[in-house]
């Protein structure tokens, strides 16, 4: 799963399901967890089930240990759709699903990132900054407290041969500049995707993940220099640098 934009849509708002699909997001996530209150959990699951009869999407289920986990797990198994497992901490739980995005949003999950990434059914790690912030007692919009956690997910994903992890949400819906800055920061750390909570965030996130004009120009100069060891802009160019240049230009 090499998708870049992941859009949540509340599971109790079936009127928004089709709109989410037309948003241009690479992945639509029917959210049965945070976006749905306790009283609406069963109806949200029924709405998702009915829509999945004729459509395909990812489903974020409720966390292991909650009263709704078992029924949610039955839904994704019956429909054969990928699942986002929140509060991912236990490899054995993830192994019970066919295709999993493991949402790491607890301190225990961060410390077990490598174990979670190594589960055969896990196709991607994602970072839940808001829940982790609450556990750590820090502000979710402050990047510094999460540098370690983000790096753990990046390294764990690479070691397991997974696509780069997906960064957490930007809660400020009215500031595209903040969203773009968050994505650019995550991309610098090695992330390859973004969780979005509104359709308007999708094109901004996608554009921010694209290589900049300066990066593309650098990559062209590197590849023009040839495959042998050379120097570009005063820096040595060898195979790893060439490989990065090809990735930037979509050639590798």
Question: Binding site: residue ranges?
Answer: 60, 105, 131
How far is 105 from 50, CA to CA, in rounded Å? Answer: 29
Residues at the binding site for substrate are 60, 105
How far is 90 from 190, CA to CA, in rounded Å? Answer: 24
Is residue 166 helix, strand or coil? strand
Compute how many other C-beta atoms are within 10 angstroms of the C-beta atom of residue 165: 29
Cα–Cα–Cα angle for 42, 22, 47, nearest 5°? 10
**Residue whose structure tokens are 């100069």:** 221
How far is 113 from 156, CA to CA, in rounded Å? Answer: 6
Residues at the binding site for Mg(2+) are 105, 131
Q: Residue by residue, what is the 3-state secondary structure of 19-42?
A: HHHCCCCCEEEEECCCCCCHHHHH
Cα–Cα–Cα angle for 63, 65, 69, nearest 5°? 55
């Amino acid at each position: 799963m090499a998708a870049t934009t992941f859009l949540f849509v509340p599971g109790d708002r079936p009127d928004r399901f089709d709109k989410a699909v037309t948003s241009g997001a690479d992945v639509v996530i029917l959210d049965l967890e945070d976006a749905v209150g306790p009283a609406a959990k069963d109806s949200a699951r029924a709405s998702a089930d009915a829509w999945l009869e004729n459509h395909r999407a990812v489903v974020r289920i409720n966390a292991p240990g909650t009263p709704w986990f078992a029924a949610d797990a039955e839904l994704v198994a019956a429909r054969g759709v990928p699942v986002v497992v929140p509060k991912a901490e236990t490899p054995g739980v993830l192994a019970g699903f066919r295709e999993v995005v493991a949402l790491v949003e607890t301190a225990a999950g961060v410390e077990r990132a490598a174990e979670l990434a190594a589960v055969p059914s896990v196709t991607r790690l994602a970072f839940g900054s808001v829940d982790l912030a609450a556990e750590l007692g820090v502000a979710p919009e402050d990047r510094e407290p999460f540098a370690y956690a983000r790096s753990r997910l990046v390294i764990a994903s690479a070691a397991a041969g997974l696509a780069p992890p997906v960064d957490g949400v930007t809660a400020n819906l009215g500031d595209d500049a903040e969203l773009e800055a968050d994505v650019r920061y995550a991309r610098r750390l090695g992330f390859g995707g973004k969780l979005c909570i509104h359709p308007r965030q999708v094109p901004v996130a996608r554009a921010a993940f694209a290589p900049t004009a300066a990066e593309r120009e650098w990559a062209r100069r590197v590849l023009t220099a040839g495959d042998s060891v050379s120097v570009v802009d005063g820096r040595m160019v060898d195979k790893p640098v060439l490989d990065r240049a090809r990735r930037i230009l979509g050639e590798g």
